[in-house]
A = this chain, B = another copy of it.
């Protein structure tokens, strides 16, 4: 038994567990392959400061067999790097840094190529051109036993474009429209990335998503880990590996938000000499240092490593045809989980045409992480759990335990982070960290309260409308009764006064609201106060 012990290559592991990468069925396989290629392309363009222009093509080449091709106008990849980038799992530039980007694992595109190879036997094809050089074309297989690329063909290619990368993968897949489709993914991506131009060619005919803004999103900075949330063992490893010569230098250079003064304070509290060599700190003082660092007051991580997308504009874009009655959105301040800064933004749209056709409308949750739409596994997503755990009945909506509210509601949640903790390598949903769930809950609560205020107002208005109806019904009879007692009364004036009284007692019945739930000036009621949104 012991003799059979041997090591497992990471490609073998993921080939056998390809559902972990998002390749559990043919329909999802198509989406995952497109998604990995598009995410890479957008990242490459943005990092090079290029406004992205993507060509995404789906071609059917047999029963359940498709070719996915994604081309970008990014900087291109130097020829020597191409095999490892596309033919090796766990290889890349994004893992060893803390920076907001779509890719982070160094798995995605190689895994898509490996899935293609597994299911069709066809190697992945890359054409890449760095500005000023000729384009190279390579066909790459993965040697899964060794997790190494195998270059099947390597040629000079002639292309019409100056720089960029084109990836083609032949894979077993099926194409279907509707929810969770490639169509939906491309559309959501275009809306969340208005700076990108996407030419999409599905079998049903080409669709062009034109650029809506011609500026790249604010550049985000790479940062060092935040001291709160780093783990003891990780800090001990960092002590061994740092280039800093003194503990104080270690603290200020390996973490963000630690100044010289803070570093001295931490060393003093831990009783560790700040001039000591980091490598020579023994486990016991290391733990003291760690505890002192956790206890120290340290500023929240810098904001400029994160770029929210503007949830409200995004939601309005998403709903396009569907006009809601009420919109609201909020952006939380950055927070930290395990040393990684992250930021939550949430938008709600309610009423109007939303869920108009459903018997009992159920809220819909739309999820994004670092501008990438998440289409699968909502049930295991932190966003879903936060939304389902919220007590929506506090905001005037009904809800079954553990479900989203029964209401004509669309909820959008975006998590921006230097490291998004996905629940699987397929990057389909966000892991349920307490700190993240808490931020989502607070953001949802803030938006929920605003919606709740509107719903209460609408309820009061409805009750005043009913009261006014009752007044209206009896004013005629009251006037008649009065004239029979006192025949010389001015009927018209009496009626007019009574109507005015009824109106002023039920002023709220005339309230109207804008699409942020603010009370608009009611036409005939000069005394109506404009209430600011809370």
- Which residues of A are in contact with B by a Cβ distance under 8 Å? 1-2, 4-10, 12-13, 15-17, 19-20, 24-25, 44, 47-48, 75, 77-78, 81, 84-85, 88, 90-93, 95-97, 105-106, 116-121, 144, 172, 231-234, 236-237, 283, 286-287, 362, 377, 379-380, 384, 400-401, 403, 419, 421-425, 429, 431-434
Docked complex Cα distance between A255 and B7 (Å): 23
Docked complex Cα distance between A422 and B419 (Å): 24
22 contacts between A and B (CB under 8 A): A2-B93, A4-B97, A5-B85, A6-B91, A7-B106, A8-B92, A10-B90, A13-B90, A13-B105, A17-B105, A19-B432, A19-B433, A20-B431, A24-B421, A24-B432, A118-B231, A118-B233, A121-B287, A172-B232, A362-B401, A380-B429, A424-B424
- Oligomeric state, in number of copies? 2
When C-beta atoms are compared, the residue in chain B nearest to A378 turns out to be B379
Shortest beta-carbon distance, A183 to chain B, in Å?
22
Tell me if A12 and B95 are in contact (CB < 8 A).
yes
When C-beta atoms are compared, the residue in chain B nearest to A431 turns out to be B19
Tell me if A92 and B5 are in contact (CB < 8 A).
yes
Shortest beta-carbon distance, A377 to chain B, in Å?
6
3 nearest CB pairs, A to B: A379-B379, A118-B233, A380-B380
Tell me if B237 and A8 are in contact (CB < 8 A).
no
- 6 additional A-B residue pairs with CB within 8 Å, beyond A120-B232, A400-B403: A1-B75, A7-B88, A10-B90, A19-B431, A121-B233, A172-B231
Tell me if A231 and B119 are in contact (CB < 8 A).
yes
| Residues in B whose Cβ lies below 8 Å from that of A13 | 90, 95, 105
Tell me if B233 and A8 are in contact (CB < 8 A).
no
| Residues in B whose Cβ lies below 8 Å from that of A423 | 19-20, 380, 423-424
One of B92, B286, B433 near A121 (C-beta < 8 A): B286
Shortest beta-carbon distance, A58 to chain B, in Å?
20
Tell me if B121 and A236 are in contact (CB < 8 A).
yes
Shortest beta-carbon distance, A83 to chain B, in Å?
11
| Residues in B whose Cβ lies below 8 Å from that of A380 | 377, 379-380, 423, 429
| Residues in B whose Cβ lies below 8 Å from that of A8 | 90-92, 95-96, 105-106
Tell me if B121 and A16 are in contact (CB < 8 A).
no
Docked complex Cα distance between A85 and B5 (Å): 8
One of B44, B106, B232 near A119 (C-beta < 8 A): B232
A10 with B10: in contact, given A81-B2, A84-B5, A119-B232 (CB under 8 Å)? Answer: yes
| Residues in B whose Cβ lies below 8 Å from that of A422 | 17
Docked complex Cα distance between A118 and B78 (Å): 36
Task: Point out which of A20, A424, A429 has the most chain B C-beta atoms below 10 A from its C-beta.
Answer: A424
When C-beta atoms are compared, the residue in chain B nearest to A19 turns out to be B431
Shortest beta-carbon distance, A338 to chain B, in Å?
9
Docked complex Cα distance between A85 and B8 (Å): 12
Docked complex Cα distance between A234 and B16 (Å): 10
Tell me if A19 and B85 are in contact (CB < 8 A).
no
Tell me if B24 and A93 are in contact (CB < 8 A).
no
When C-beta atoms are compared, the residue in chain B nearest to A144 turns out to be B237
When C-beta atoms are compared, the residue in chain B nearest to A380 turns out to be B380
Shortest beta-carbon distance, A187 to chain B, in Å?
24
One of B48, B286, B433 near A1 (C-beta < 8 A): B48
When C-beta atoms are compared, the residue in chain B nearest to A28 turns out to be B432
Docked complex Cα distance between A55 and B4 (Å): 27
Shortest beta-carbon distance, A337 to chain B, in Å?
10
Docked complex Cα distance between A116 and B24 (Å): 32
| Residues in B whose Cβ lies below 8 Å from that of A78 | 2
| Residues in B whose Cβ lies below 8 Å from that of A81 | 2, 5
Docked complex Cα distance between A121 and B234 (Å): 8
When C-beta atoms are compared, the residue in chain B nearest to A12 turns out to be B95
Docked complex Cα distance between A116 and B419 (Å): 22
Docked complex Cα distance between A5 and B419 (Å): 17
| Residues in B whose Cβ lies below 8 Å from that of A119 | 231-233
When C-beta atoms are compared, the residue in chain B nearest to A20 turns out to be B424
Tell me if B7 and A433 are in contact (CB < 8 A).
no
| Residues in B whose Cβ lies below 8 Å from that of A91 | 5-8
Tell me if A19 and B233 are in contact (CB < 8 A).
no
Docked complex Cα distance between A221 and B423 (Å): 33
